Structure 1
């Protein structure tokens, strides 16, 4: 299924009734009050402009636009006060997480002009967390929340505190021409991945979302589809990451019925981050069917399905397992009795022209659950090479509880 962004981008060429320009106060003075005042005056039918400068963001903010524009030529620089942000960020219910900045509204454009965006001061968070990526209180840099018919373009996110961006409860959103970089500069880390959970972007409870022309360099998922993400298009993306296109995690909450549906991905390259191994170029992950402890580091027992997914022209460089599915996700020690309990269904998933290499003896590993076997998958033009090129094809592919598939003759169950 090839998805096309359907809403008219009438706001791109609009003549705005009023313009509010905010100049940075400098000297570390909080610019949020001035920014919010500008949005209150010009956010409906007007334009808010921030010229090139560093703007101090010392408190969480919600910027609302209706038939308006936000021209951000400089950086919104979040203060590095860990205790303050843990206590004051907005809460995000999924996995008990936090957000620093919400963009809300309808029929709007946010333009970073290739020079502006967010500086998250993420290094203080990376060193503080020291590999424990899900510590409470790390705020996501920006969330497109409760928004419809919006364009965010020419945007940069440098050193995000946590997930770089989120699209939450939103419809008809285009995110185009993004550069995201989360790099650990702490010499104590060595080659350890202290930039965990700096995802490029995640979708949650959203539909008709398009990502195009992205460059992501960071320590976790490049783009991840969280529960109830539908009609998503991803094209022309370069990922230097730990995981590439990530489906999930799903099934973490025992009362949830999670849906991932109508997802089209094409022209993606995934390779190693310099401080962490690339696990999977396309990674599907669902929780065990038993609830063990609480999120974010525990969970399970939810259900749902993923279907109508197409991935074309995916190139994967030096992954642990280029195509990977686990239905036994848990952050706790896996008890053997939990195996094969997941009821989340992975069906109707299609690959066309997938190339690349692994640094192990495996190129495909699909560990589906006996409680919800995988079926209806297809593979065309798959050329994946394990570290040992002499490995027999039947030994480099594992497909447990995997049925009704085409184009993968080496699949061993």
Structure 2
């Protein structure tokens, strides 16, 4: 018995040593390669150093921006990243050489728009830590274009391009040159804790300063955004599907936009499966709205077009709190968009709008209309559900908002036109 126990103890000792030896011989994972971007002398272009950092560490590495101001005086393309982490502790400040940007901004292939920075890849994590900032020096652009819409060559701040399974968190965007960001050809992307402020400090309007636009993208989540701007807070354009916008606060812009869409003649486009919930709106023009071009082509993008086909379907807007001075409908549909300054045929669009829920809306507004819906006679809006509305006209009046304006709306639920 004594020998047997010792025998087992010896075996246990030998096995434990073998396990320890085996464990110690296993290869340990290598630490991530880290590229710290060094700032150059004042006013010198830091874009080449940034491009080099992504080239060195864009595949399985970490790109770090220090708590400094980096001057961006040339376009950047950092796409094709793989398993890359970015830590932005400072500010990327775009230059004001308008001639350069008009001649060199990167085309995005939609609406004749262009971008200052193409960024993207798979399994990318971009952290701003709540203070890392992209500053587009936008006032220079607002003054230059003087309110002209979609000025050719005026770039978006950043285009998130062909990006999958990625996270953007805690980033600040101020004074964007045009749209703050376009999210294109991307899937399964989370954008959380994002701050956008693109507002003018003089008489020139901050037009076209959308907080974000999705195009040809699927499964995009906007969580805890704050947007203060002069145009769409967040806009969902061609072939945007499975989009969630939640727990966000919007100031002064137009609200959440579906469109514009239907701008390309005979092109089939769609927006489908959208949920917008937990929104607080301060002085936005609408809570949400849907905008399509007419069925007649007049001119070409970016400021002309029309005649596109397709649909917007399964759109849910719920749990909005309004602190709003809008003088139009809180929920708005128009199918009358056409070339600037031209009166179009509002009944000509074949783009169909259907299956919409607009519910649980509370607060006060500056209009008597819960909804103003100007749908196309050629393709009426169908299955619109509006209910659980608790709005008053102005905070002091306490007059309930109960009216509807409808054209070519069929199969309504919760209200009558």
Q: 1:17 is matched with which residue? A: 32
Answer yes or no: is the 8 Å Cα contact 2:391–2:401 preserved in 1: no
Q: 2:74 is matched with which residue? A: 59
Answer 1 or 2: higher relative contact order, Cα 8 Å, separation at least 6. Answer: 1
SS, match of residue 325 in structure 2: strand
Q: 2:198 is matched with which residue? A: 182
Q: Distance in 1 between matches of 2:98 and 2:221?
A: 33
Q: 1:31 is matched with which residue? A: 46
| Per-residue Cα deviation, 1:153-202 (whole angstroms, up to 9, x for no partner) | 1100011000011110000100000111112123xx1xxx6101111111
Number of aligned residue pairs: give it.
384
Task: Answer yes or no: is 1:327 the counterpart of 2:335.
Answer: yes
Task: Answer yes or no: is 1:208 the counterpart of 2:215.
Answer: no
In structure 2, do the counterparts of structure 1 residues 21 and 347 end up closer, same or farther at CA, with 3 Å as the change threshold? same
Runs (5+) with no aligned partner, structure 2: 1-28
Report deviation, 1:335. Answer: 4.1
Task: Answer yes or no: is 1:314 the counterpart of 2:320.
Answer: yes
| Per-residue Cα deviation, 1:131-164 (whole angstroms, up to 9, x for no partner) | 1132111110011101111101110001100001
Residue of 353, 358, 363 corresponding to 2:365 = 358
Q: 2:311 is matched with which residue? A: 305
- Runs (4+) off by over 6 Å: none
Answer yes or no: is the 8 Å Cα contact 2:392–2:399 preserved in 1: no
Of residues 194-203 and 235-244 in structure 1, the stretch that sits farther from structure 2 once superposed is 235-244
| Per-residue Cα deviation, 1:180-226 (whole angstroms, up to 9, x for no partner) | 1112123xx1xxx6101111111000000000010001100000001
Residue of 387, 393, 412 corresponding to 1:380 = 387
Runs (5+) with no aligned partner, structure 1: 1-13, 273-277
Alignment of 1:3-152 (within 5 A): 16-64=31-79, 65-152=81-168
Alignment of 1:383-398 (within 5 A): 383-386=390-393, 393=402, 396-398=403-405
Task: Answer yes or no: is 1:371 the counterpart of 2:387.
Answer: no
Report deviation, 1:392. Answer: 8.3
Report deviation, 1:258. Answer: 1.2
Answer yes or no: is the 8 Å Cα contact 1:322–1:356 preserved in 2: no
Normalised to the residue count of structure 2, the TM-score between the two structures is: 0.88
| Per-residue Cα deviation, 1:41-92 (whole angstroms, up to 9, x for no partner) | 1110110111110001111101242011011111111001111001001012
Of residues 346-355 and 79-88 in structure 1, the stretch that sits farther from structure 2 once superposed is 346-355
